[in-house]
Amino acid sequence: MSLPSLTGLRWTAALLVFLFHVNLVQYFGGRAGSLVNWAFSAGDTGVSFFFMLSGFVLAWSSPGRTGIAKFWRRRLARVYPLHVVTALLALAMAFTFAPMTKPLHTQLAANLLMVQSWFPDFGFYQSVNPVSWSLACEAFFYFLFPVLLWCLRRVGWRGNLIVAALSTATVLVMPMLIHHLSLSTDFTWTIYYFPLLRLPEFVLGIALAEVVRAGRWRGPGLAVSLILAVFGYFLTSQVDYGYQFTACTVIGFAALIAAAATADLRGEPSPWRGRLMVKLGEISFAFYMIHLLVMRTGEYAFRSHPKEHWPMGLAVTAAAFAIALSLAWLLHTYVEGPGRRLMLRSWGRRAAVRH
């Protein structure tokens, strides 16, 4: 059974990341800037939501048995066409009006191979199209997913509840462990960008999907879960730096995903199930991949960190949003879907020839 609310929630997470970058590039100044910072400085937690949602959706949609190579091909075809096209757009910017963003050959190679986040170097994990760092994490998750799913489907719903609890606990204690063990001089890379340490969020999503599939979700409903998610989101500004990325939001986000899926299964009301929200969710990946390039273009074409009063700040934000959303629709329609079908068709022909 499809879970349209999860597609709508995907758009909400993408919008949070967009608004986080609105705050980061400082479209607003003065009191308006302070308000935007208060409201959206935690928007990067939307990536954590993506990781949990990815694990949940993949587990939910996976049959009992699936070929590992076939699964990997499908996931690569899902993300790679858009990754390559947005990387080319970023390179076009770098070689024209944004020369400071020009990557080294090694950085470009790492980005195109989706391994850039394994390097504790800002020039690598933020190379080319900066938001693509998360694809390195997703590629790692996809690589492990068949084995993870095989293991988790053999421990039953009780075992998955334990896995979900352990994954949540790992996310909560990770900042303290990294700080006290001094695992890296680049704390931000370790806690936020390093794929291995983002894995518990993905595993949590898989475990939750198995619990919901078994009809054993007994957590809070949609309204309470939303309150928990919003509370955790705003709590991030009140805690130490290391706890701001995932620790405050992991419980609320996990509960919201499971509650939204349960609401769909039961036919209960959900604000994310409407046609518009689902459609926006379908283009959310393209929006995520293109929005920062649109903002960067504005910075280089006009000026960086404008810090405008709220009327002009709203106008600039609306313009960036409209352009990014329009380009996202074009990329989804003419790159993401056709590129996936082309790659899968090409692999299918090769397999037929070999047989």
Per-residue CA distances from 10 to 172, 230, 248, 287, 305 (Å):
23, 16, 19, 11, 28
Query: Tell me, what's the pLDDT at 300?
Result: 84
Task: Tell me the pLDDT tens digit for each residue of 208-234.
Answer: 999 999 999 999 999 999 999 999 999
Number of CB atoms found within 10 A of residue 195's CB: 23
CA 190 to chain centre: 17
pLDDT tens string 51-77: 999 999 999 998 766 689 889 999 999
SS3 114: coil
Among 92, 113, 133, 12, which residue's Cα sits nearest to residue 296? 92
Report the SS3 class of residue 155. Answer: coil
Residues lower than pLDDT 70 in the chain: 64-66, 182-185, 348-355
Q: What is the pTM of this model?
A: 0.94
How far apart are alpha carbons 245 and 248 in whole angstroms? 7
Q: What is the pLDDT of residue 180?
A: 76
Whole-angstrom Cα distance, residue 292 to residue 296?
6
The four Cα atoms 87, 90, 91, 92 give a dihedral, to 10 degrees, of 120
Q: What is the pLDDT of residue 177?
A: 87
- In this predicted structure, what is the pLDDT of residue 64? 66
- Residues near 71 by Cβ (< 8 Å), separated by ≥ 6? 62, 142, 145, 146
